[in-house]
Structure 1
């Protein structure tokens, strides 16, 4: 991330080189345009199942094929939010619900979020059009999960099949890993679970120092694994919210040690650091140094302040 320029990154959304769309676990991700066309078909069945699970009852009397094509026509005429789509479709299916009808397009079409949504310090409502319309290209209909699995291991290995499946939301990926065993190296963790990695991937010694890090909500350091003990400190494991990882968190020596929040209003940016337990000065100093860099990145023209407390206070 050295020298990362968020404005230049935003410009690549506007140039349609990068795309925001629903993929792994049916949640929103940023990927390249090429990967969007390759990955989206892998998750179509998952999205269909989630639609049935979450909205099966209000959609029971809806012709999903017709609702899908009606939605396609609407969003290819102009990008729309799910709420806007639902308000139109409810006129044809008044026995359903607008929120459920609005989800038909997200789950049954390849939908891309259009700018200014996602742009650095701009944003906007989550309006969508079809991925094909946004990029002017067809989906890769013949794709298999093999390339995605190998790229997952390149990023997150050593990892188990359960880790992989939790990260992406797909099942039956053991057979994919088995197809590539000859290209992988294997390990066993403390519980005997088989782990896979690429032979030439970096695997630092367990005593290698890990710099402090401020991580966002739902960071892949958690979502990437079923077994999160590799980063979860004892005090973090006691927190009831950990299963959802719905706070920005920071790590010290590679383990969760607390939460943080950044408030940027009225020309002043304040970073609040909230450890689970009091930290020694030797740990506070690098956090303040990294925190100053975080403030400079998010609010370079504002006055900066760092405050300390305890999580839950």
Structure 2
């Protein structure tokens, strides 16, 4: 067994861009919608970006048959799914089970982000004392981030209340409990102690992060894993896992790693049309995103800190879309002229989104703008 596995790790098999595309689409449930529950799917697809509260709902809707808004809301309210600052120091939804092992792995990243972003604004503040203070303040209760900042600043005259609250969020495992992260919920972000709500966290294990990522987004380079997670030191970790991974090369000759038994579909497997949410997993998971979109397309979709909702045709980003719930309207902006069958499929997906997001605004309409 060991010898066979070692030979597979040394493989120089080349995976073309389309093969990488189909493998990732399969793992993200974008070749065929799944029928499992939302929590299980969030674990399978590597969490969900949750900077905007409605995006995780739309992301799951593109991946699950029979998905309802109530299903995800219930999972957030009973803490089977939790919202917190995680990969790339941005808001994500993860299962409570995954959060317990994932958050400790991200500690060095979040400490680095605090230093880089808020270091000057917290100069002279004892950060160890800040963390201890935050634990005491939040014990047994939930506050909004501004409320926490004001209390911390009262004990540190002249300090920047906002910087203190954000620093506490990076340096201490905190959750944003419901209603934060639920459909249509905006406003001040609540914070609560993660260990108080979920129990003790686990010892950090970066190898588990690598395996989790590859199961959701692989095959991939170490640069891809870093771009998705923000974690450094990954080449050494992947080297330590050489006996557990299979190595390929991409069309540029770069080493690409995967779990040995992971599914890698035939590159000619059909890929259905999908309307992806803003900040969708598929668009943020790789340093080299050409398996999903061209560099020109990336410049049209990834604008400053915004990742637009996108149209996926034959597995690649082929346009953007906009939802107007009040008007019961989805407007699609394709980047090239659509074939008739693609027009029909895009229209059907648009109506599917409207049935979820604007059920009371019938009649619904899907408009496709000129390319």
Contact 2:276 2:311 in 1 (8 A): yes
Q: Distance in 2 between matches of 1:235 and 1:285?
A: 26
Q: Which one of 201, 211, 224 corresponds to residue 139 of structure 1?
A: 201
Runs of at least 4 residues off by over 3 Å = 120-125, 240-245
Q: CA deviation at 1:262?
A: 0.8
| Range with greater deviation from structure 2 (272-281 or 96-105) | 272-281
Which of 295, 308, 313 is residue 368 of structure 2 equivalent to?
Answer: 308
Which ranges of structure 2 fall in alignment gaps of 5 or more residues? 1-63
Unaligned segments of structure 1, at least 5 residues: none
Cα separation, 2, equivalents of 1:111 and 1:252: 38
Mapped contact 1:58–1:100 kept (Cα < 8 A):
yes
Query: Secondary structure at the residue paired with 1:178?
Result: helix
Q: TM-score, normalised by structure 1?
A: 0.91
Q: Secondary structure at the match of 1:90?
A: helix
Which structure exhibits the higher relative contact order, with contacts defined as CA atoms closer than 8 Å and separated by 6 or more residues?
2
3-state SS in 2 of match to 1:155: helix
* CA–CA separation in structure 2 for the residues paired with 1:189 and 1:29: 29
Q: Give deviations 1:145-199, integer Å, cap 9, x for gaps.
A: 1122112111111111111111111011122222222232221111111111122
Matches within 5 A, 1:110-125: 110-122=173-185, 125=188
In the TM superposition, what are the counterparts of 1:141-220 in structure 2 within 5 Å? 142-220=203-281
Q: Find the aligned partners of 1:23 and 1:30 in 2 and give their Cα distance.
A: 9
Q: Is the 8 A contact 1:61 1:96 kept in 2?
A: no
Q: Which residue of 2 aligns with 1:16?
A: 79
Q: What are the superposed Cα offsets for residues 42-81 of structure 1, whole Å, 9 maximum, x if unpaired?
A: 1112111111111111211212222222222222343122
Cα distance 1:76–1:108, how it changes in 2: closer, same or farther (>3 A)? same
Aligned length: 307
Q: Distance in 2 between matches of 1:205 and 1:69?
A: 53
Report if aligned partners of 2:68, 2:356 keep a CA contact under 8 Å in 1: no
**1:212-251 correspondence to structure 2 within 5 Å:** 212-233=273-294, 236-237=297-298, 239=300, 241=302, 244=305, 246-251=307-312
For the 8 Å contact 2:301–2:308, the answer to whether it is kept is no
How has the CA–CA distance of structure 1 residues 176 and 234 changed in structure 2, closer, same or farther, with 3 Å as cutoff?
closer
Q: Residue 88 of structure 1 aligns with which residue?
A: 151
* Counterpart secondary structure, 2:328: strand
2: distance between equivalents of 1:18 and 1:123? Answer: 18
8 Å CA contact 2:146, 2:188 repeated in 1: no
Counterpart in the other structure of 1:279: 338
Assess if the C-alpha contact under 8 Å between 1:25 and 1:169 holds in 2: yes
- CA–CA distance in structure 2, aligned partners of residues 106 and 280 of structure 1: 48
Provide the C-alpha distance between the structure 1 equivalents of 2:284 and 2:305, rounded to a whole number of angstroms: 9
